[in-house]
Amino acid sequence: MSVRIAVITGASSGIGEAMARLLARRGWRCVLVARREGILRGLASETGSEYEVCDVADRAAVDGMAARILERHPSVHLLVNGAGILVRGDFVETPLELIERVLAVNYLGGVWLTRGLLPGLREAADVDGRAHVVNIASIGGAIVFTPAAPYSASKHAQVAFSRSLRAALRGSGIDVHTVLPGFVTTPGFPHPKVFATRLGRLVVVGPERVARDILSAVERGRAEVVIPWFPYRLGAIAQAVAPTLTARVLRDAEYEDEA
């Protein structure tokens, strides 16, 4: 097999950074994507990776980046759509510009980049037998989380995209994996206050744990994974069975202030 190429968005911190470090240790050649060039350059140097500075909310920029990547790497074995932002608030008061922004970053950017890199993914599947797309969504994509309603809606869209993409690519040699982490200790994503308690901290995981579980899901061909399973999978079940009650319980959750 040729050198395995992985493209990772949101690679400058959090889960994306953890994925880059883990894959580099496993012998992958990574292309790191984010907006902060200084951080990307340092991480690329540490991990022996390449980098592309790109705002995934800019469709033209994403198209150009995909073309540059394919020019260097005609085969792309793994795409990790990990770029994401949090927008708190509801659909009544949140500025419309922020709602558009969160949809573009969390959902549309992944759609655009997947389409742009699809020829490389197909090439990898044809030559090496398998390629993968990982969409890092959120448990907020399975549960209506009213205190961050625009974020939750964007993640619902991302989950629907990921699940339908897997069906569309069935038989192509390209596996699509939907990842739904719970609360993770990542910059820019403050947690509800309940998770600052001793009990709450038991269900908050680090980005390294998420990265390991993602790689395991890829290697085992798992279509969808919730990280950690308990208690977040139970929340998704509650949403499906009793959506009104679940939304009411989560409505008044308060966040810790960001540092």
Q: What pLDDT digit, counting tens, does each position of 179-197 carry?
A: 999 988 877 655 555 455 5
Question: β-strands 5-9, 29-34: how paired?
Answer: parallel
Q: Please give the Cα distance from 13 to 50 (Å, whole number).
A: 16
Please confirm, yes or no, whether 232 is among the known catalytic residues. no
Percent of the residues in the chain that have a pLDDT greater than 70, as a whole number:
83
Tell whether the torsion through CA atoms of 89, 95, 99 and 101 is positive or negative. negative
Amino acid 258: pLDDT: 43
Q: Is the pLDDT of residue 243 over 90?
A: no
Q: Which of 51, 151, 232, 255 is catalytic?
A: 151
H helices of 33-181, in order, are 37-47, 59-72, 96-103, 109-128, 149-168
Q: Which long-range contacts (CB under 8 A, 24 or more apart) does 86-93 make?
A: 86/148, 86/151, 86/188, 86/189, 86/190, 87/148, 87/150, 87/151, 88/147, 88/148, 88/151, 88/255, 89/147, 89/148, 89/149, 89/150, 90/146, 90/147, 90/149, 91/149, 91/150, 91/153
Q: Please give the Cα distance from 94 to 28 (Å, whole number).
A: 41
Q: Please give the Cα distance from 75 to 1 (Å, whole number).
A: 11
Amino acid 100: pLDDT: 98
Three-state secondary structure call for residue 139: helix
- For range 190-214, the mean pLDDT: 73
- Name the one residue in this structure whose structure tokens are 């890199």: 117
Q: Higher-confidence residue: 195 or 238?
A: 238
Amino acid 245: pLDDT: 57
- Name the one residue in this structure whose structure tokens are 């889960």: 15
Q: Is the pLDDT of residue 157 over 70?
A: yes
Q: What type of residue sits at position 216? A: S
Domains and CATH numbers, the chain: 5-251 (3.40.50.720)
Amino acid 197: pLDDT: 55
pTM for the whole structure: 0.89
Strand partners, 227: 181
pLDDT tens column, 97-142 = 999 999 999 999 999 999 999 999 999 999 999 999 999 999 999 9
Q: Please count the CA atoms within 13 angstroms of the CA of 90 that sit on its side-chain side.
A: 8
Amino acid 144: pLDDT: 83
Q: Chain centroid to CA 210: how far?
A: 11
How sure is the predictor about 202, in pLDDT bands with cuts at 50, 70 and 90? Answer: low
